[in-house]
Amino acid sequence: MQGRIDIETLKRLVADDEIDTVIAAFPDMYGRLVGKRLVGRFFVDEILKHGMHACDYLLACDIDMDPVPGYAFTSWAKGYGDFRPIPDFETLRVASWLPKTALVLCDVYREHEHELVPVAPRSMLRHQLKRAAGLGFAVMAASELELYVFKDSYETVAEKGFINATPIGRVIEDYHILQSTKEEHLVGAIRSHLERSGVPVESSKGEWGPGQQEIGLRYAEALEMADRHSIYKHAAKEIAWQQGHAITFMAKWDERYAGSSCHIHMSLWDEKGKKPQFAGEESLGPIECSPTFRWFLGGWMKHIRELFAFFAPYPASYKRYVEGSFAPTGIAWSFDNRTAGFRIVGSGPSLRIECRAPGADANVYLAFAAAIAAGLDGVTNHIEPPPAFEGDVYKAASDLPHMPHSLNESIATLSESAFARDVFGEDVVDHYLHFFRTEQRKFDAVVTDWERRRYFEMA
C-alpha cells in the first residue's frame, strides 16, 4: 500500500537521509495522538531495541493537559510514573504532509510488565477484537467522519474568542460540486496526503452545512480502520494549519448549522476476514440476512443507551441530536432510512449496519469497542432486535426509546450498567466515568457567552 513501509525500509530511508524524524504516538482518551518526535537515527539505533517511555498522566489528564485528581490509575500520590508505548510496526508509514517524517502508532504497556494498559483506548478495542476472535469473527468497519472548514486560521479563531468564526462556504453544500471546488485546495490536499500516507480514501463531498465536508475512507478490519480514522483526523488539522485554515470536528460547533457525525458501519466476517457473516436467507422486515446479523443488531440496539457516552463524550455532543437534522433522536432500525439511528445498508455480502449516533468528536477506538461489545453480546445471547421501523423516526420519536439527551444522562446509564462493567472491567468503566464526569463538571462551572448575551443586561 502506498505510503506504508516496514522496518527495513525505514532503516534504509533513515540511512539515505530521506527520513530524519519518526513520530511515535498513541491515542489518548480524547482520541488525540500524543507521543514523541524521535530523531530517525536514534529511533533506528535505540528505540527499535529498547523501546520508549512516556508519563502515565497522559491517560489521566484533561484536554488542556491538566492532571485530574481522582483517577485510580495514576495520581500525584502515585508519582505519575512511566508506561511504555511500544510501536505497532503494522502502522508504520511515511507522513507525506510533513517533511522527511515517518509515523508509527503505539500500544501502551505497563512499565515493568508485558501487559497492555487496560484504560488505553487502543487496548480497549484490542480486547473487544480478541473477544470477537474467540467467537470465530473478524470485525470490519468504516467511519464516516465530517468536519467544518473555516476561512480563519486557528490563531484567528482563538483571537476571536472562538466566536464568529467564518465558515469557508456561504451555502449548504451537500453534494455541491461548485462549492466543494472552492474548498478543494484544502480538502484535495488532505485526500492526497492521506493516500500517500497509507490511508486509502474513497471520496470527499460537501455536507449539509456551509463549509462542511466529509472525507470517506476505505473500510478495513476494525483496528486498522480506527488507526486510519485517527491519522485522518490528525493529518487534516495539521494540513489545515499549514494552509492558514482552521477545521473542527466538534459534533456541533454552532446551533445554526448541521452537526458533524461519525457514522459507524460495521459487519462481522469469518475469523480470517474472507467471508461476510451478515448475509443470509432469513427475512427480517425488508431485508434478507443471517441470524448473526439479527443478533448483532439486537445487541447493539439493546445496549446503546448504557454505552452512549462512548459515542457522545462531551456536553456539547448532545446539541447535535435535533429533529430534522439527519442526526438520530429515536432508537430504531430501518432499511436505508436516514431518520433512523440504525440504518441498514447493502445486501448480500455488503450487508452492514450503519449506526448514525456517534458524533465527529467521538474517540473512534472507544466507539468501535462499545459497538463490538454490544453486538457480540447480542450474538452470544441471541438478542432479537425490535421490528423494522418504516417512515419518519423524528415524528415517532416520542413513542420510541430515545437517545440520551445529555452527558449527565449518559453518565447515569453507564454508571448503572452491569453489562459495561462485565465487558470492559470495573476499573476501565470507573476510569471513563471519571473522565466523563470531569468534562461535565468543567462545563457546569463555566459561564458561557450565551448566558452573558442573554442575562448580562436583562436579568
Angle at Cα 372 formed by Cα 368 and Cα 377, nearest 5°?
155
| Strands 137-150 and 220-221, sheet pairing | antiparallel
Same domain flag for 74 and 161: no
Domain contains 75: yes
* Boundary (domain end) residue, out of 117, 137, 165: 117
Domain contains 46: yes
In this prediction, residue 33 carries a pLDDT of 98
Separation between Cα atoms, residue 238 and residue 180, nearest integer Å: 20
Cβ-contact 376, 135 below 8 angstroms: yes
Separation between Cα atoms, residue 353 and residue 340, nearest integer Å: 11
Same domain flag for 378 and 445: yes
Angle at Cα 208 formed by Cα 202 and Cα 211, nearest 5°?
80
Domain contains 1: no
Same domain flag for 238 and 322: yes
Asked if the model's pLDDT at residue 111 lies above 90, the reply is no
256-285: pLDDT as tens digits? 999 999 999 999 999 888 899 999 999 998
Separation between Cα atoms, residue 183 and residue 149, nearest integer Å: 8
* Boundary (domain end) residue, out of 95, 117, 139: 117
Separation between Cα atoms, residue 59 and residue 298, nearest integer Å: 32
Cβ-contact 235, 193 below 8 angstroms: yes
Average pLDDT over residues 185-213: 95
Mean per-residue pLDDT over the chain, rounded: 95
Residue 75 sits in a domain whose CATH number is 3.10.20.70
Domain contains 250: yes
Average pLDDT over residues 185-212: 95
Report DSSP letters for 210-272, one per residue: TTEEEEEEPPEEHHHHHHHHHHHHHHHHHHHHHTT-EEE--S-S-TTS---BEEEEEEEEETT
The label of the residue with cell 456561504 reads 170
Separation between Cα atoms, residue 239 and residue 436, nearest integer Å: 30
Domain contains 103: yes
Cell numbers standing for residue 171: 451555502
Which of 412, 394, 388, 386 is closest to 299 using CA atoms? 386
* Boundary (domain end) residue, out of 93, 117, 141: 117
Asked if the model's pLDDT at residue 398 lies above 80, the reply is no
Higher pLDDT, 173 or 411: 411
In this prediction, residue 254 carries a pLDDT of 93
Domain of residue 235: give its range.
Answer: 129-454
Same domain flag for 344 and 381: yes
Domain contains 136: yes
Dihedrals phi, psi of 202, to nearest 5 degrees: -95, -50
Same domain flag for 168 and 53: no
In this prediction, residue 256 carries a pLDDT of 92
Separation between Cα atoms, residue 104 and residue 93, nearest integer Å: 7
241-256: pLDDT as tens digits? 999 999 999 999 999 9
Cell numbers standing for residue 195: 493516500
Higher pLDDT, 398 or 377: 377
Asked if the model's pLDDT at residue 1 lies above 80, the reply is no
Same domain flag for 336 and 395: yes
Average pLDDT over residues 85-100: 96
Separation between Cα atoms, residue 307 and residue 434, nearest integer Å: 15
Separation between Cα atoms, residue 433 and residue 313, nearest integer Å: 10
Same domain flag for 184 and 151: yes
Residue 346 sits in a domain whose CATH number is 3.30.590.10
Please give the tally of structural domains in the chain: 2
* pTM (2 d.p.): 0.96
Domain contains 325: yes
325-378: pLDDT as tens digits? 889 999 999 999 999 999 999 989 999 999 999 999 999 999 999 999 999 999
In this prediction, residue 274 carries a pLDDT of 86
Same domain flag for 144 and 113: no
DSSP state of 66: P
Higher pLDDT, 433 or 50: 433
- Which residues, in sequence order, are CB contacts of 55 under 8 Å at separation 6+? 80, 81, 82
Separation between Cα atoms, residue 261 and residue 367, nearest integer Å: 12
Dihedrals phi, psi of 148, to nearest 5 degrees: -110, 140
In this prediction, residue 148 carries a pLDDT of 97
- In percent, the amount of the chain with pLDDT more than 90 equals 89
Sign of CA dihedral 416, 417, 423, 424: negative
Same domain flag for 111 and 155: no
Average pLDDT over residues 88-112: 95
Same domain flag for 169 and 295: yes
137-179: pLDDT as tens digits? 999 999 999 999 999 999 999 999 999 999 999 999 899 999 8
Q: Which amino acid is at 69?
A: P
Domain contains 459: no
Q: Is 28 helix (H, G, I), strand (E, B) or coil?
A: coil
- As a three-state string, the secondary structure of 341-372 is CEEEECCHHHCEEEECCCECCCCHHHHHHHHH
Dihedrals phi, psi of 212, to nearest 5 degrees: -95, 135
CA distances from 14 to 10, 35, 43 (A): 6, 20, 9
Cell numbers standing for residue 333: 432500525
Same domain flag for 177 and 199: yes
Same domain flag for 196 and 101: no
Q: Which amino acid is at 298?
A: G
In this prediction, residue 51 carries a pLDDT of 82
12-28: pLDDT as tens digits? 999 999 999 999 999 99
